[in-house]
Amino acid sequence: MDSSLERNKQSGQLRRIQACLQELLNDRLAGILLCGSAVLGGLRPDSDLDILVLIRGELQPEPRRTLTRRLLYLSAPPGHRNARPLEVTVINLNDLAPWRFPPKCEYQYGEWLRGELESGGLPQPYFRADTALLLWQARMHSRILSGKPAAELIPSIPFTEIRRAISRARPELLAWLSGDERNVLLTLARMWYTLETRDICTKDAAAQWAASRVPPELVPLIRMAGEAYLGRSPDHWDDLPAETHRLAEIMESRLAELLETPAPHLQAPEPPS
């Protein structure tokens, strides 16, 4: 798709989402932030639009139902011609002070939930480690759609909490390797990058970074994952189970080493002014 057409599609979708949130949440809305690939280096063919919504107070049942119904309309499955998939996360700022781990997510919409939501389900609050990663990332890399900058709304999160979040996420992630090879390998690479650099990057950038750090015979696999993520070439994993598991084990071993190394109790890097 022509880049100008893609930008127009994206900006129109974001305007509609912003108007929806402002109408539903009114004076409880503290901020709307665009996160993820859209601000880290460009959207990929199947990338979600990642939107973090910061509110004051709980999301009541009726707004929760209405928001879900409207997001089902505004979002689209990957590959749709006229709209991108949405991942909308709602955080109650009252739950962030004092800080508790894992943090509470008030609401999350994603296309992987579409079948359940179309059958009448509603996203409910939950506590999960990866919410800490999302908040930490938003403080450093996000674009304001409405309200104040992330750093003025989200408290500073010590990097020790990011290490805890990555440690918690590892077992569940590895369980999905067979059948979701590309995503798992790229996520492991990005976790590795974060633990080494105390920063975040796109999955394809993490693949490039990891390619210089894995055994030479496994470089083609991590590069294949990165190229497929960019939509440049297909990936095939059925005939590479041993190599895929070895690559995952090597990256997992590196994560374990980094997590076992004592880290100074330092705050995560502050976002650029």
Give the catalytic positions in this structure. Answer: 87
- Residue 152, both tokens: 């003025």
Write the CA distances from 217 to 120, 175, 179, integer angstroms. 48, 24, 22
Q: Most distant CA pair in the chain: distance in Å?
A: 56
Tokens 């955080």, residue? 91
> SS3 for 69-97, per residue?
HHHHHHCCCCCCCCCCCEEEEEEEHHHCC
- Residue 250, both tokens: 């090597």
d(CA 106, CA 94): 11
Helix, strand or coil, per DSSP, at residue 35? strand
